[in-house]
Structure 1
């Protein structure tokens, strides 16, 4: 039986590659930078341009599909996942990296049907690495199969995480508390490349054993979740429960042994759900 979503995935790869070209060209030009929720939550003209390009391309080819995009949600569109085929887009994952020329900037495209993720495409545009994952069909980088690390000893692991954009001292204290506890397990090290999508792809590729973060969004992790799972890893909530795409929380790991050990050290803090009514969001 033919795969009903292969055409959509092929299109996602093509538009992600073109979006990466737009990002690389924009790095050579002046950038208009604006702030969203705070002075450290940035958006550029390129974010908006790339999202509009992807949106237009998808709408032309798949006019009945739904769309959740970082910049459209920031502009007031609802962030609602329905049963309809839905594209979940982060046009420039790693905007702060982009602004500073730090070389990890990704286009992230996840695709869900009946609220289940079907495929993910992450194009690390400055590295020219195309990560793909299709439910039940494996994960790849530039066409080569991906496989998570087989490490089960937490003391031999590298763990990725990020500081996020919330500068509330209580939240920052919890972030540092968690990192301190994980470092003192001890682990080999902690890293973070400034983009959730690439952090998750590094888990899928076996370069690091786990990545966790609270406060990110569905468009940051939709594509990466498929890629990690299809590379043999696990994706769950930071409390060890099932992964919830709208929860703004994720723990991706090479296996449950490592994930369960990390869960014990995480000091969680509240984050408004992506699908919460606008009036309930802070």
Structure 2
């Protein structure tokens, strides 16, 4: 390790007990990995053990700036971990999503300021960008590095077919460059990066490794590298969604929302407006102006939100994280409901009729991607309704992470018949009754379910 390399001890998720030690020295000295005692990933049984302290070793590839970079990271933190059996998975998943959000911000900025040469169409004419493949490769590589390739199974949206074509060398080259630019920053996020730059075959292998078929048994990760790609290419809302599913049930969810600031009123504006205002307003080291990451584990009864990490600093999560809860509003006249932006994704006319029958008075908040789930979990909105047209099948990566975060934040997510979403059938939410309804409270949820039953025969869905 270079002598000028700085290192930081990172806390594990603060849903666990912690002891804080403050170091008032002017310079952090390098530390070494002292070992951990995490439950072995992939086992069916997880004993509740006392976990040792975590110390993250940072392998520096470059000279970090001096005190300005570390000004807010001078505190050394030692964690005394409790029995949460998903603590290691959550720690890695949050950091991986933070890295992915940083990658997406750079690519989105390039798309908006330059050309659309990095935007391509899938067979179903939906857009896909360099960011989609790059995020999938990055997160796949991080999970495999952290837990071992044999212990990691990933079900994700993108495949390598388009990148493997002879006429896609330029596209593949752009993806490889983007992935390497991201992974070289891994030490900033408390993760170990590759010892050398990845080549085309390494990146294709990482993307292709995400070939799990899911199912009712075993553990697998569900990943949507860029949820809401249309919003992404338009400079608006999008999300990076990662969930861990065990024996058909979602047990962990992380949702990165790079364009969703702490102040909820920004959801009502097009993100380009927010971006202009942000440039005119100086940001602080703990600024929440650039987005957020939400996360939760099953049965914790808690959900958390932290600001998007700035890559010129070392990630000291979850120092800035705060708990989030769903809204307490149960009066339909005061409630806000979200729905997809595109009419092709959901019937606006049917949800408008439901809103009227339930007594919702506010205009719908139309938002791209799983940011709608984040809005419910944070209490910025009370209802999310989606009723796709006949023939459309919902994919599990579009809902898994958002669902568990809302549930642990105190909300309710079911299909339109009131049944839990079923993540045990593979890629799709098979057996879904008509649509999906997420609410901050049970009263609103019950009213909407009843209204769906009363109105469905009159719908054209």
Please indicate the TM-score interval, normalised by the length of the shorter structure. 0.7 to 0.9
> Aligned match of 2:446 in 256, 260, 282?
260
Distance 1:78 1:135, change over 3 A: closer
Aligned to 2:298: 135
Give the root-mean-square deviation of aligned CA atoms: 2.5
- Of 22-31 and 216-225, deviating more is 22-31
Paired residues for 1:22-37 under 5 Å: 22-30=103-111, 31=116, 32-37=118-123
Name which one, 1 or 2, has greater alpha-carbon Rg: 2
The gaps in structure 1 that reach 5 residues or longer are 271-282
User: What SS does the aligned partner of 2:437 have?
Assistant: strand
Aligned to 2:416: 238
Matches of 1:90 and 1:269, distance apart in 2? 30
Deviation at 1:79, TM superposition (A): 4.0
Match status 1:120 vs 2:242: no
Q: Which has the higher strand share?
A: 1
Matches of 1:80 and 1:74, distance apart in 2? 20
Deviation at 1:166, TM superposition (A): 3.4
Matches of 2:330 and 2:85, distance apart in 1? 37
TM-score, reference length from structure 1: 0.84
Deviation at 1:83, TM superposition (A): 2.1
- Cα deviation digits, residues 19-52 of structure 1 (max 9, x gap): 011101112324422223544x221121111111
Distance 1:73 1:66, change over 3 A: farther
Match status 1:192 vs 2:325: no
Report how many aligned residue pairs link the two structures: 262
The gaps in structure 2 that reach 5 residues or longer are 1-47, 49-82, 163-207, 261-290, 307-320, 389-393, 424-428
- Cα deviation digits, residues 85-114 of structure 1 (max 9, x gap): 211111111211111111x22111111111
Paired residues for 1:97-246 under 5 Å: 97-102=231-236, 104-127=237-260, 128-137=291-300, 138-142=302-306, 143-164=321-342, 166=344, 174-183=347-356, 185-189=358-362, 190-195=364-369, 197-215=370-388, 216-245=394-423, 246=429
Structure ranking higher on relative contact order (CA contacts 8 Å, 6+ apart) = 1
Distance 1:74 1:158, change over 3 A: farther
TM-score, reference length from structure 2: 0.53
